[in-house]
């Protein structure tokens, strides 16, 4: 869809004056989470403007990939887009959890929860492109890209956004603004919402590899004293590795040439899939935990990384954002059906109380996992290995942890129930 066509869909001032606002809802940030919220509201009859500043995201350029949990898949099924996503991604039906050289490996399988799959692994574009196409074909959604939000203002009866498009500033009025613009959210910062958290002593190296032997649809989480090491299966027998290490060690690894890096990688990866071939570039990013003090103000809601960030262990980050989008969509649709103002902070507090507590629990869980397993203090080592031994033998504990990891604990959004 051409930029000019998108811009022309923004209502004229005369029409806006009749209604008092141009859109019911403005979503700032057209990445996966912003698109998911827009897609979840396609049947709401609400008029939605989705604003994205960049034509191609950095995640596409870097070939980012994610673990997609069972609950996220159910949400996309509820939206009606999963059949477009599934052919482009890989399933996994086993997860192997190990601690350095400890002999007892905890293996989760589909039989533990009676499902066909445990989860999926998707490259960024495998989610982004089907969502973009779905949203562009939804008559109640205007997808504005590129468009840069210059300023926001929150009034009693409306919120306003000034957007720069093709060098021209346009003032747009809405009942609600949703910030889906990432961890450095300008919308959150402009609203004065503070955050709490810290940057870890670790960075993550991510890369694609092609193993000599089949990955057998198995995901691995290998804990080492320097940090977790994850192997995620992808289509065409490729794997995505997420290698966590202290900053200086991670920088030194990234500075190696391909052959030297592969030698180090092979030692950490193991020989279960034979020799490895490095595909494309390696990328490094610092790990951070962050929780916003508020997820909602009058006429403003935060979702995804704009609201929170967590350690990548367990692949929780994107999935938390997908759940945020589904939860906010449910709250907005219910309020609209009840004749309530969707931008009223009392309505938005329902979303905040739902998601903030659940996200905090996962942030704490991932932080604890990283600290307990990235630790050589002997009593901690003995305690965690005893925990793995217990988990391996007590099915109730094993199933509880598995359901927590794949999103089947906590409140399930209506979209995921298939009702």
Ordered structural domains, the chain, with CATH: 3-91+120-197+289-378 (3.50.50.60)
Give the whole-angstrom CA distance, residue 150 versus residue 256. 41
pLDDT attached to residue 18: 45
pLDDT attached to residue 264: 95
Crossing angle of helices 345-373 and 317-337, rounded to 10°? 160
The two three-digit tokens of residue 369, written as one number? 């996992």
Alpha-helical regions (H) of 276-419: 317-337, 345-373, 378-393, 395-405
Place of tokens 């670790």: 202
pLDDT attached to residue 63: 72
C-alpha of 46 from chain center: 24
Number of other CB atoms surrounding residue 418 within 10 Å: 8
Instruction: State the pTM of this model.
Output: 0.93
Give the whole-angstrom CA distance, residue 90 versus residue 121. 5
pLDDT attached to residue 62: 63
Q: Is the distance from CB of 239 to CB of 217 less than 8 angstroms? A: no
pLDDT attached to residue 57: 65
**Mean pLDDT per 10-residue interval, the chain, length 419 residues:** 39 44 94 97 95 76 86 97 96 94 90 93 95 94 93 95 93 97 96 97 96 96 92 97 96 95 94 94 94 98 98 94 98 96 97 97 94 90 91 92 90 88
C-alpha of 20 from chain center: 34
Give the whole-angstrom CA distance, residue 53 versus residue 287. 24
Give the whole-angstrom CA distance, residue 350 versus residue 330. 10
Q: Is the distance from CB of 363 to CB of 291 less than 8 angstroms? A: yes
Number of other CB atoms surrounding residue 85 within 10 Å: 20
Give the whole-angstrom CA distance, residue 322 versus residue 302. 12
Nearest to 41 by CA among 138, 112, 169, 146: 138
pLDDT attached to residue 8: 36
Q: Is 156 exposed, middle or buried (0-12, 13-18, 19+ CB in 10 A)?
A: exposed
Reduced to 3 states, what is the DSSP secondary structure of residue 158?
coil
Alpha-helical regions (H) of 210-257: 247-255
């Amino acid at each position: 869809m051409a930029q000019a066509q998108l811009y022309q869909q923004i209502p004229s001032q005369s029409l806006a004056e009749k209604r008092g606002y141009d859109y019911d809802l403005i979503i700032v940030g057209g990445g996966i989470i912003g698109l998911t919220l827009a897609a979840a509201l396609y049947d709401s009859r609400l008029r939605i403007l989705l604003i994205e500043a960049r034509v191609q995201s950095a995640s596409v350029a870097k070939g980012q990939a994610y673990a997609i949990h069972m609950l996220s898949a159910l949400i996309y099924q509820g939206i009606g887009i999963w059949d477009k996503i599934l052919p482009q991604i890989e399933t996994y039906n086993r997860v192997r959890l190990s601690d350095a050289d400890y002999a007892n490996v905890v293996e989760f399988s589909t039989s533990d929860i009676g499902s066909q799959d445990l989860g999926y692994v998707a490259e960024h574009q495998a989610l982004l492109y089907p969502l973009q196409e779905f949203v562009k074909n939804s008559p109640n959604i205007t997808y504005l890209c590129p468009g840069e939000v210059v300023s926001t203002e929150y009034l009693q009866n409306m919120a306003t956004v000034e957007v720069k498009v093709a060098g021209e500033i346009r003032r747009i009025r809405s009942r609600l603004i949703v910030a889906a613009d990432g961890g450095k959210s300008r919308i959150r910062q402009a609203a004065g919402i503070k955050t709490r958290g810290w940057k870890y002593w670790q960075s993550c190296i991510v890369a694609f590899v092609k193993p000599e032997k089949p990955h057998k649809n198995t995901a691995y989480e290998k804990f080492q004293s320097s940090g977790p090491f994850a192997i995620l299966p992808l289509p065409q027998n490729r794997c995505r590795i997420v290698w966590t290490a202290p900053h200086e060690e991670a920088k030194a690894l990234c500075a190696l040439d391909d052959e030297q890096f592969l030698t180090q990688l092979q030692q950490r990866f193991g020989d279960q899939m034979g020799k490895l071939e490095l595909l494309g570039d390696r990328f490094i990013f610092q790990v951070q935990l962050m929780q916003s003090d508020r997820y909602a103000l009058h006429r403003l809601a935060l979702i995804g990384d704009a609201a929170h960030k967590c350690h990548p262990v367990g692949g929780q980050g994107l999935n938390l954002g997908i759940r945020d989008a589904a939860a906010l969509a449910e709250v907005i649709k219910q309020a609209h059906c009840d004749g309530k103002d969707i931008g009223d902070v009392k309505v938005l507090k329902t979303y905040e109380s739902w998601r903030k507590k659940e996200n905090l629990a996962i942030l704490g869980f991932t932080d604890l996992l990283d600290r307990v397993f990235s630790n050589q203090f002997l009593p901690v080592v003995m305690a965690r290995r005893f925990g793995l031994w217990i988990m391996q033998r007590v099915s109730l504990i094993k199933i509880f942890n598995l359901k927590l990891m794949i999103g089947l604990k906590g409140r399930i959004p209506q979209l995921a129930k298939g009702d």
